[in-house]
Amino acid sequence: MQAILALEDGRIFRGEGYGSPGECQGEVVFNTSLTGYQEIATDPSYAGQIVVLTNPQIGNYGTNQADNEAAKPFIEGLIVREFSRVSSNWRSEQVTDEYMERYQVPVLAEIDTRALVRHLRDNGVMRGVISTVSSDVEALVQKARKIRKMDGTDLAKVVSTKTIYTFDESDSHNQTGDPLLTPGVDRPQLHVVAYDFGMKRNILRMLTREGCKVTVVPAQTSAEDVLGMKPDGVFLSNGPGDPEPVDYAVNAIRGMMGRVPVFGICLGHQLCGLALGGKTYKLKFGHHGGNHPVRNNATGKVEITAHNHNFAVDPESVNANEVELTHVDLNDNTLEGLRHKTLPLFSVQYHPEAAPGPHDSHYLFRDFRNLMEEWKG
C-alpha cells in the first residue's frame, strides 16, 4: 500500500506502507543505532514521536517477547529505508510486519531516509503525519502543523505505571550479556524505589543484577510516600516529553535529597538538574542512537553510549560550588552527567542500561550500589 509522510514545513516523502494501515502523527526524530529496532519501538521515551532509523535494513531478524523494553511499542510510527517481511533468526517469534500491525504502528518504507535525516539535521526535529489512507498532501501538512509541540508537554505521567509493584526478575529475561553482573555475590540485598517516568525493563534487570530489590512507583508519588518505604536508594528513570512541566517530580527529588542516595538517568537526570536549581533546553534534533561518545571527566576515558533524549541540562545554570559536571558529550559538548559534591546524588543523561547499545557504562549501576552501601555505613 502507498504511504505518505508530510512534515510541518511542507516537505513530502512517498513510499510503501507496512505494519498497521491508517494514520499516525508525532514529532519526527532519527535514531542512528545499527540494531535493536524492537527495543527502540518499545522504549516509552519515544511516546509522541515517529522514529526514523538510519540503518537501511530493518525487520530482518523479526521480533520476540524477550526483547520488549515495555509491554508494547510506544513509538507513534516507524520510517525505514528497507523493511523485511520475513524473519531470519532462530529467536524470532513473529515477523516485524505482523508485530507492528498487531500493535497498530504504521511503517513507512522505501523512502530516501538519508535525505529525511539530513533535512531534520539541518532544520531540526519537526512534527509530521504518516498516512496510508489520504493522498491530500496539503491537508496532511496542515494536520502536522496542528500537532501539539513536545515543548511544555508532560508525558511522564501518561506512560508511567498506575500502580506500585515489585519487579520480579524471574518474570523477565537477562539481556545484559555482561558476565560481571552476577546477582547477589555475597552482598546483602538493598531496597531501591524506582520512579517510573517511562522506564525501560533492562534498567530493572540491571538493578536486580546488583542485588537490589526494586519497588516501582508511579511518576507522581510524593517524597514522603517513598521515604515511608524505607528505601536504601531511589532511582529516577528515563521518560518522554519536556522535563520542566514535571514539577511534581522535581519537588519529590528536593524532598529526598540528602535523606537517601539518588541515581537518575535521561529524564531523571534532567529532573535532578532542575531540582538543583538548573535549567533545561531543547536540542535541535536531539540525541538518539547507540554510538555517542561521552567523556568521563574524572578518568578521561571515553565511553560509547546509548542516547534517547531531546532535552538537556544547561551546564551554565548549575551551581558549580555544589555540583560537579562529570560527563560531557564529545559530539556537541552537551552536559551528560552530574554529581552533587556533598549529597549522595548523581545522574547521567545517557542510558547506561543500553538495550540496545554498548555496555561501557554498566559500571554506573555498581557505583549506585556502592553509594547506597556507603550511605548505610
- Tell me the percentage of the chain whose pLDDT exceeds 70: 95
Catalytically active residues are 266, 351, 353
Task: Chunk the chain into consecutive blocks of 10 residues (it has 377) and report each block's average pLDDT, rounded to whole numbers.
Answer: 97 98 98 97 98 97 96 98 95 97 98 98 98 96 97 96 88 43 64 98 96 97 98 98 98 98 98 98 97 97 97 97 98 98 98 95 97 91
Question: 3-state secondary structure string, the chain?
Answer: CEEEEEECCCCEEEEEEEECCCEEEEEEEEECCCCCHHHHHCCHHHCCEEEEECCCEECCCCECHHHCCCCCCCCCEEECCEECCCCCCCCCCECHHHHHHHCCCEEEECCCHHHHHHHHHHHCCEEEEEECCCCCHHHHHHHHHCCCCCCCCECHHHHCCCCCEECCHHHCCCCCCCCCCCCCCCCCCEEEEEEECCCCHHHHHHHHHCCEEEEEEECCCCHHHHHCCCCCEEEECCCCECCCCCHHHHHHHHHHCCCCCEEEECHHHHHHHHHCCCCEEEEEEEEEEEEEEEEECCCCCEEEEEEEEEEEECHHHCCCCCEEEEEEECCCCCEEEEEECCCCEEEECCECCCCCCCCCCCHHHHHHHHHHHHHHC
The pLDDT score that the predictor gives to residue 221 is 98
Q: What is the reported pLDDT for 256? A: 98
Answering whether pTM is above 0.75, one says yes
Determine if residue 211 is left, alpha or beta; phi over 0 gives left, psi from -120 to 50 gives alpha, anything else beta.
left
User: What tens digit of pLDDT does each residue of 297-345 get?
Assistant: 999 999 999 999 999 999 999 999 999 999 999 999 999 999 999 999 9
Structure confidence at residue 170 (pLDDT): 59
Q: Which long-range contacts (CB under 8 A, 24 or more apart) does 212-215 make?
A: 212/369, 213/166, 213/189, 214/166, 214/167, 215/164, 215/165, 215/166, 215/167, 215/191
Write down the pLDDT at residue 186: 62
pLDDT at 187: 72
